[in-house]
Amino acid sequence: MALTNEYLIGVLETVKKRNAGEPEFIQAVTEVFESLEPVVERRPDLVEAGVIDRLVEPERQIIFRVPWVDDNGKTQVNRGFRVQYNSAIGPYKGGIRLHPSVYIGIIKFLGFEQIFKNSLTTLPMGGGKGGSDFDPKGKSDGEIMRFCQSFMTELYRHIGADCDVPAGDIGTGAREIGYMFGQYKRLKNEFTGVLTGKGLTFGGSLARTEATGFGLCYFTEEMLKANGKSFAGKTVVISGSGNVAIYATQKATELGAKVVALSDSNGYIYDKNGIDLAAVKQIKEVERKRIKEYVTTHPDAVYTEGCSGIWSIPCDIALPCATQNEINKESAELLVKNGCFAVSEGANMPSTPEAIEVYLSNGLLYGPAKAANAGGVATSGLEMSQNSARLSWTFEEVDAKLQGIMKSIFKSCDEAAKEYGLEGNYMAGANIAGFLKVAEAMKAQGCV
Ligand code: NDP
Ligand code: 2IT
């Protein structure tokens, strides 16, 4: 879909000029702009207030050196990032990605998406994202700790419980958050909820570990229900085998589906009997090994090299939970050809624009990332509430709140799509609903 609104075309031109060489960021902005065309026509007051011109420019971008010493005594240098994108509706909030592919364009695309996602959660959180090109693979615990401490030695001066609250993302889990929290506390001499995804003994929330994957399935089940379907009895393919993929597998299975495939960046496993999640948790969470290990204990399962082949497995529902642009046009066409009727995104921006076009033109149910994977940050918001109140809720309490939030996110997407004459297009609905709340706040706060 090409933009037709003159004003949006102009702003996008400026974005492209200012951010040349950052294709993922431009892709994320373009997708949102395409959804906003009817809003811009109906709400000239927001254009007048310069909301969109301001929204595309991060409030602050921090880039810093992260020196650390490896196990051989050699100095290593990585680059650290924190993009504080938008604070109109709350403190900056978003994860930290540790992956060799990280550069400023990745962090900006993720931070931009986070603004709308956080808005949809109904909780008061602005958008931000951070990370580093550090590669955690093959590093010892000691190296991970020294990296995390060095990263925080600069980052601590820019964040705070009421200012900017980082969390996990690719390569950042409970271990990394623990090391970062320890260093923050030491440097500031204060114990606050400055990070989420913390360990349960020092302020972490029950159900945060499960939240993104569980939330993805709660959102998807709502979307299926609204269209006379459900997870029960369906075959599901899930990419990735990290935090999001593991807990999506667990919840989809609990809801009656059979998950038959998982992957990592090297390849994918197919188990026609349904994935044995206890084995996956042991390999990934305890031993930190590769997914191909699965077939050594599961002789009926098959491992295939190369991660994109996973989309050639016939399924009813696909849940991409690995990384950006992991489903291209060809993979989307394969899914359709094999009878897949729903794609719901656990990863951020896992589908290319051409893939999304294939879903929409073939009438698939499409749950866009910024709505479908918002359960993680929503539960981070619940962790912040518990930290501020200095109390902790039970797993059941947090899970019930998460379910309520995911239902309300689906409702917002559905209603916004209907209101703008785009019924069933939950991507447009998510972008519009997420945008409007932030836009009203930005307009009310004046030109800042
Ligand atoms: P993890 O680091 O726990 O797992 C990432 C998984 O994706 C691994 O299996 C990894 O394989 C695979 N992967 C990562 N990069 C690539 C790549 N370039 N090509 C192929 N596979 C890749 O991360 P999460 O599960 O936390 O995150 C997965 C996705 O979900 C990301 O897009 C993230 O932004 C998003 N997300 C995460 C949330 C959270 O709460 N954690 C919340 C909302 C969204 P390998 O081990 O080989 O690298
Ligand atoms: O992309 C995301 O929403 C996350 N990585 C979670 C962010 C958070 O603050 O919990």
Q: Which tens digit of pLDDT belongs to each residue from 43-88?
A: 999 999 999 999 999 999 999 999 999 999 999 999 999 999 999 9
Q: Let me know: does 266 contact 290? Beta carbons within 8 Å.
A: yes
In the sheet where 235-238 sits, what is the strand order? 302-305, 267-270, 258-263, 235-238, 317-319, 342-344, 365-367
Q: Pocket of ligand 1, candidates 96, 101, 112, 169: which has the most ligand atoms within 8 Å of its Cβ, to mutate?
A: 169
Q: How far apart are the C-alpha atoms of 238 and 322, rounded to whole Å?
A: 9
- d(CA 241, CA 228) in angstroms, rounded, equals 29
CA gap 246, 276 in Å, rounded: 11
Structural domain contains residue 158: yes
Domain annotation covers residue 443: no
Tell me the average pLDDT across 321-349. 98
Q: Is residue 296 assigned to a domain? A: yes
Same domain, 254 and 303: yes
Q: Is 265 in the pocket of ligand 1 (CB under 6 A)?
A: yes
User: Cα(170) to centroid of ligand 1, in Å?
Assistant: 4
What CATH number is given to the structural domain containing 310?
A: 3.40.50.720
Kindly tell me the burial class for residue 137, based on how many C-beta atoms sit within 10 Å of its own C-beta (0-12, 13-18, 19 or more).
Answer: exposed
Distance 117 CA to ligand 2 centre (A): 9
Q: Ligand 1: distance of its center to the CA of 130 in Å?
A: 15
> Do residues 228 and 329 share a domain?
yes
Q: Is residue 216 part of a domain?
A: yes
Which residue's alpha carbon is nearest to atom 13 within ligand 1?
322
- Per-residue pLDDT tens over the stretch 372-415: 999 999 999 999 999 999 999 999 999 999 999 999 999 999 99
Say yes or no to pLDDT of 177 above 80: yes
Torsion 190-191-194-198 (CA) sign: positive
230 by DSSP, 3-state: which? Answer: coil
Residue 283 C-alpha to ligand 1 middle, in angstroms?
A: 16
Which pLDDT belongs to residue 383? 98
pLDDT of 448 > 80? The answer is yes
CATH number at residue 127: 3.40.50.10860
* pLDDT tens digit sequence for 250-275: 999 999 999 999 999 999 999 999 99
Tokens of 141: 């615990």
Cβ(348) to ligand 2 under 6 A? Answer: yes
Residue 348 confidence (pLDDT): 98
How far is 229 from 216, CA to CA, in rounded Å? Answer: 16
- CA–centroid distance for 72 within its chain: 35
- Phi/psi at 153 (5° precision): -60, -25
- Catalytic annotation present for 337: no
CA-to-CA distance for 292 and 266, rounded, in angstroms?
9
Query: What is the structure's pLDDT at 265?
Result: 98
Which of 372, 394, 425 terminates a domain? The answer is 372
Give pLDDT, residue 1.
Answer: 72
Tokens 């060095």 — which residue?
150
pLDDT reported for residue 314: 98
CA of 243 relative to ligand 1 center, distance in Å: 7
**Shared domain check, 365 and 247:** yes
Q: Does 75 lie in the same domain as 49?
A: no
The residue among 340, 372, 404 that closes a domain is 372
The count of C-alpha atoms lying within 13 angstroms of the C-alpha of 342, restricted to the half-sphere facing its C-beta, is: 29
Any residues with CB less than 8 A from the CB of 77 and at least 6 apart, and which?
65, 66, 67
120 CA to middle of ligand 1, Å? 22
Which residues, other chains included, contact 98 with Cβ-Cβ below 8 Å and sequence gap of 6+?
131, 132, 134, 135, 136, 169, 170, 171, 172, 176
196 within ligand 2 shell (Cβ under 6 A): yes
Q: Is 421 exposed, middle or buried (0-12, 13-18, 19+ CB in 10 A)?
A: exposed
Pick the catalytic residue: 93, 108, 117, 129?
129
Q: Specify whether 79 is located in the same domain as 37.
A: no
Containing structural domain, residue 157: 60-191
Kindly state whether residues 115 and 176 are assigned to the same domain.
yes
Query: What mean pLDDT comes out for the span 416-444?
Result: 98
CA-CA distance, 396 to 424, in Å (whole number)? 31
Q: What is the 3-state secondary structure (H, E, C) of 183-208?
A: HHHHHHCCCCCCCCCCCHHHCCCCCH
Q: Is 349 in the pocket of ligand 2 (CB under 6 A)?
A: no
**Ligand 1 pocket member 252 (CB < 6 A):** no
Asked whether residue 380 is assigned to any structural domain, the reply reads no
Q: Quick check: is 398 in a domain?
A: no
- Asked whether 91 lines ligand 2 (CB < 6 A), one says no
* CA-110 nearest atom, ligand 2: 1
- Looking at the structure, tell me whether residues 80 and 50 fall in a common domain: no
pLDDT digits (tens, 9 = 90+) for 94-150: 999 999 999 999 999 999 999 999 999 999 999 999 999 999 999 999 999 999 999
**Each residue's pLDDT tens digit, 209-256:** 999 999 999 999 999 999 999 999 999 999 999 999 999 999 999 999
| Pairwise CA distance, residues 241 & 259, whole Å | 12
Mean pLDDT of the chain: 98
- Is 203 touching ligand 1 by the criterion CB < 6 Å? no
Q: Does residue 244's CB lie within 6 angstroms of at least one atom of ligand 1?
A: yes
Segment 149-166 shows an average pLDDT of: 98
Determine, yes or no, domain membership for 163. Answer: yes
Mutate to test the pocket of ligand 2, among 119, 212, 219, 406 (most ligand atoms within 8 A of CB): 212
Give the residue, by CA position, lying nearest to ligand 1 atom 44: 347
Residue 124: inside a domain, yes or no?
A: yes
Asked whether the predicted pLDDT for residue 9 surpasses 80, the reply is: yes
Does the CB atom of residue 84 touch ligand 2 within 6 A?
no
Q: 145, 163, 191: which is the final residue of a domain?
A: 191
Q: How many domains does the chain have?
A: 3
The residue whose CA is least distant from atom 20 of ligand 1 is 265
Q: Is the CB of 243 under 6 A from ligand 1?
A: yes
Question: Does residue 216 share a domain with residue 353?
Answer: yes
Ligand nearest to the CA of 129: 2
